[in-house]
Amino acid sequence: MAKVTIKEIAQISGVSTATVSRVLNNAGGYSDKTKRRVLDVLEKYHYQTNVMAKGLRTRQTKSIGVVLPDLTNEYFAKIAVAIEHVLMEKGYSINIYNLSEDANKERLMIRDLESRGVDGLIYVSGYKDLPKKVKYQSIPVVCINRLEEMDKEVPVIESDHQYGGYLAVRTLLEKGSKKIVMLRDERDILPINFRYQGYLEALKEYGYQSDSRLICRIPFNVGHAQEAITTLIENGIDFDGIFASSDLLAIGALKALQIHEIKVPVDVQVVGFDNVTFSQYSHPTLTTIHQATDQLGERASELLLDLMNNQNLDSNKRMVVPVDLVERETTR
């Protein structure tokens, strides 16, 4: 069952390889009769183009790279799936590069990316630090979520983080919270900072001052979130609402509240961010800001396709995907 090549197809159908190739690519320049004959043979012998031969000649691999911080994080996995969904239909295959935390791996990844000659790249930036000196040579790149260093060079698709933060906090305020904690990743990552801006914006709109004691900057994990809220409680700092910059942190907060027998949402209301699957199963279920991961992935893919076809496009494009509020049990 050795693979059949274009040359053999040509021989069998009594034409040249050029004609077979033309038929394969719908390029015209053949009669209907030959077309049908060639197609028949193609079908009969289960011809499959050798992607490498084609790629060598055309300088296209029909594959694109997706670089992301952590595939086991549902948020990124969902984006990856959305990307795959769009691009696979267009005949592209997806090479996923999972950065994990391995600096060494980043090198390997970049080398690999370059020598494989992917046709395009989607860079999903996230909670990890990102490489500064990656030179994305001449292939089109689009970035999901903003990344300080690339800011000006690469088109970006991102959620409306600031409005999300605003929406979360406005909701808390509307439902009666007055002293709202912001529980956030300690690092100055742009999306997180935008959410913080939204927090400030909402407070201001409702005539409240922001209180620096209520801003908790912590490492990104459940334990630290729990600890931070515990500390607030034990220090007797008064609050009746929590906006967590991520559902994971919200979960930690809920734990701390539960241990101290503070009732949610009666005594304290909580709003998270991301709307991960887990948030609908926590106790109580979590009100959160939903990020449309599917849209992020789809838009990025479509934009990348555009860039790869006509590179005349404005590479300074920026696109904002709306977020929305999912109300569950942690708000009244």
Residues near its own copies, by CB under 8 A = 1, 48-53, 55-56, 61, 63, 71-72, 74, 77-78, 80-81, 84-85, 88-89, 91, 93-96, 98, 100, 105, 108-109, 111-112, 114-117, 137-138, 222, 251, 255, 258, 278, 281-283
Render 229-255 in DSSP notation, one character per residue.
HHHHHHTT---SEEEESSHHHHHHHHH
Q: Is 131 helix (H, G, I), strand (E, B) or coil?
A: coil
Residues 214 and 268 sit within 8 Å (Cβ to Cβ): no
For residues 17 and 197, which CB has a smaller minimum distance to DNA in the complex? 17
- Copy the structure tokens of residue 166: 């605003």
Q: Is 121 helix (H, G, I), strand (E, B) or coil?
A: strand
For residues 164 and 252, which CB has a smaller minimum distance to its own copies in the complex? 252
The reply to whether omega before 140 is within 30° of 0 (cis) is: no
- Which listed option, its own copies, DNA, none, makes contact with residue 231 (CB within 5 to 8 Å by class)? none
1-20 binders of DNA (CB under 7 A): 3, 5-7, 14-20
**Minimum CB–partner distance for residue 271 and DNA (Å):** 53
* Residue choice 30, 127, 206, 208 for contact with DNA (CB under 7 A): 30
- Which listed option, DNA, its own copies, none, makes contact with residue 18 (CB within 5 to 8 Å by class)? DNA
Of 61, 120, 60, the residue nearest 315 (C-alpha)? 120
**Minimum CB–partner distance for residue 278 and DNA (Å):** 46
197-226 binders of DNA (CB under 7 A): none
> d(Cα 312, Cα 150) in Å, to the nearest integer?
20
- Which listed option, its own copies, DNA, none, makes contact with residue 89 (CB within 5 to 8 Å by class)? its own copies
Q: Does 98 bind DNA (CB under 7 A)?
A: no
- Which listed option, DNA, its own copies, none, makes contact with residue 197 (CB within 5 to 8 Å by class)? none
**Minimum CB–partner distance for residue 143 and DNA (Å):** 28
Residue with tokens 């060639």: 38
Q: Is 28 helix (H, G, I), strand (E, B) or coil?
A: coil
Q: Does 111 bind DNA (CB under 7 A)?
A: no
**Minimum CB–partner distance for residue 91 and DNA (Å):** 12
52-81 binders of DNA (CB under 7 A): 53-54, 56-59
For residues 30 and 278, which CB has a smaller minimum distance to its own copies in the complex? 278
- Which listed option, its own copies, DNA, none, makes contact with residue 30 (CB within 5 to 8 Å by class)? DNA
* Residue choice 36, 44, 50, 210 for contact with DNA (CB under 7 A): 50
- The 3-class secondary structure across 304-329, one letter per residue, is HHHHHHCCCCCCCCEEEECEEEECCC
Q: Is 202 helix (H, G, I), strand (E, B) or coil?
A: helix
> d(Cα 222, Cα 234) in Å, to the nearest integer?
18
Strand pairing category for 141-144 and 120-124: parallel
Question: Kindly report the CA angle at 173 between 167 and 175, in degrees rounded to 5?
Answer: 100
Any residues with CB less than 8 A from the CB of 29 and at least 6 apart, and which?
A: 19, 22
For residues 3 and 178, which CB has a smaller minimum distance to DNA in the complex? 3
The answer to whether the Cα torsion of 257, 168, 228, 77 is positive or negative is positive
Q: Does 49 bind DNA (CB under 7 A)?
A: yes
- Copy the structure tokens of residue 177: 């919270």
- Which listed option, DNA, its own copies, none, makes contact with residue 313 (CB within 5 to 8 Å by class)? none
- Copy the structure tokens of residue 328: 């569950």
| Residues binding DNA (CB under 7 A) | 3, 5-7, 14-22, 24-25, 27-31, 33-34, 48-50, 53-54, 56-59
